[in-house]
Amino acid sequence: MAEDGEFQRAQPQAVGAVSGTKNRTGRGPGTGRGRKGRRGLILAAVAVVVLAIVLLAPKLFGGPKAPSDYTGAGVEDIVIEVHPGDSGSVIAADLVDKGVIASTGPFISAARGNSKLAAIQPGYYRLRTEIPAAAAVQQLTDPASRVGLLVIPEGKQLDDHEVIGTDTVNPGIFSLIADASCVDLNGTRKCVSAQDLKAAAGEGTLQSLNVPDWALKGAGAMGNSHRRLEGLIAPGTWNIDPFASPKQILATLVGDSGKRYVDGGLLDAAKALNMPPYAVLVVGSLVQKESKPADFAKVARVIYNRLNSEYDRLEFDSTVNYPLERQELATTDEDRHTETPWNTYAKSGLPATPICSPGDEALAAAEHPEPGDWLYFVTVDADGTTLFTNDYQQHLANRDKALDSGILNSGR
């Protein structure tokens, strides 16, 4: 019908003398092949699209979503480091990288308003992997999670020594480092030993231990003795990597201490005093051991005055005690007559090395001694009262006061 013409097309007419049967037979198979070919192309295209969807679906739609936060008590112990200046978001990103938390969002939310986390100190912390973000915040702010924290008091020397009359052992810097290096990971305790640290201090070149240039000559005079590092590890609070080797730990501490000494003005002060910086460090160690802070600057002046006098033996009991395994304030006649690189009763000038790690106040006194002409001093009682004079006879009288008080009596 005319109105259906656009939907129903007329059959094509034969051309020429070819019979209708032959024509249909000739055209039929050709038309069928075209339809089947198109159908095959369509099916192939559909198959490609389906395959692409299967392959790309995880990327397009994210696949199975990872949890935004973990649950449970965690999988294993690890140690992470918080660096100076790290913000909460930086810490969160690092915890994700280390597998501690699943994502940063829950951690930042849990940390919001937490004053302890805001005040977190640079250093090393033991945490569990795959723990809830809130648990990570709690563990980071728990003092028990801190590892590698080393505190070196002023006046410490490298080696332990027994304190006579008290039956106690005063731990040296090596022992303090060994204790600070300990970390418990998954039930196993790992520590660097004091003996290994002592061995490392005497091995290799001074440069490999980061000894500063200004200390190379003085420290080098001790050969391969571990005491060549005496005084070169400054007192204070340090962070040590629990996984570092003994040599790496010492090299880091010595290098950072050298920078601290320089930043404190050691080189400039030594130049003003016309002395090597290492010698000023030695003086600082003597000041630390010989007096109370109130008298530091006076004792420093006595040292310089004695070094510049005709009789340049300091005669300090602290230099006698230094290499002894058992120490007390007083010394024996035998010890005072024993020659060592440090005994200033038996040798002129300064000890071969510092006899301890001097604190800031003692070193400042060595750098800026108080003006005066004193040549002698002696502590006369247990309270630390110290008398100064430039007269030898007066010094002997002051020493008698010390003897009368019993402070110079030996327990040996």
pLDDT, tens digit, 9 for 90 and up, residues 348-396? 999 999 999 999 999 999 999 999 999 999 999 988 899 999 999 999 9
The CB-side HSE value for 3 (13 A sphere, CA atoms) comes to 0
Task: Name the 3-class secondary structure at 407.
Answer: coil
Structure tokens at 64: 């199975």
- DSSP class of residue 294 equals G
Please identify which residue in the block is written with the tokens 């809830």.
132
The pLDDT of residue 134: 96
Amino acid sitting at position 32: G
Alpha-carbon Rg of the chain, whole angstroms? 40
The CB-side HSE value for 360 (13 A sphere, CA atoms) comes to 6
Closest of 340, 384, 346, 348 to residue 230, by C-alpha: 340
CB 127 within 8 A of CB 136: yes
Task: Name the 3-class secondary structure at 379.
Answer: strand
The pLDDT of residue 255: 98
pTM of the model: 0.81
* pLDDT exceeds 50 at position 397: yes
Q: What is the pLDDT of residues 161-196, one digit of tens each?
A: 998 888 899 999 999 999 999 999 999 999 999 999
Work out the number of other CB atoms within 10 angstroms of the CB of residue 41: 10
CB 203 within 8 A of CB 212: no
Domain 77-146 has CATH 3.30.1490.480: yes
The pLDDT of residue 327: 87
Burial (CB count within 10 angstroms: exposed 0-12, middle 13-18, buried 19+), residue 392: exposed
- DSSP class of residue 213 equals G
With both helix axes pointing from N to C terminus, report the angle between 266-273 and 360-367 in degrees, rounded to the nearest 10: 30
- Identify any residues that bridge with 147 across adjacent strands, giving them in sequence order: 124
- According to DSSP, the β-strands at 161-163 and 326-327 are parallel
Q: Where are the domains of the chain?
A: 77-146, 160-260, 264-405
The pLDDT of residue 344: 97
The pLDDT of residue 3: 40
What is the C-alpha separation between 261 and 354, in angstroms, rounded?
A: 14
* pLDDT exceeds 60 at position 107: yes
What is the C-alpha separation between 97 and 91, in angstroms, rounded?
A: 10
The set of residues, in sequence order, having a beta carbon less than 8 Å from that of 343 and lying 6+ positions away, is 319, 320, 335, 336, 351
**Given phi > 0 = left and psi -120 to 50 = alpha, else beta, which region is 326?**
beta
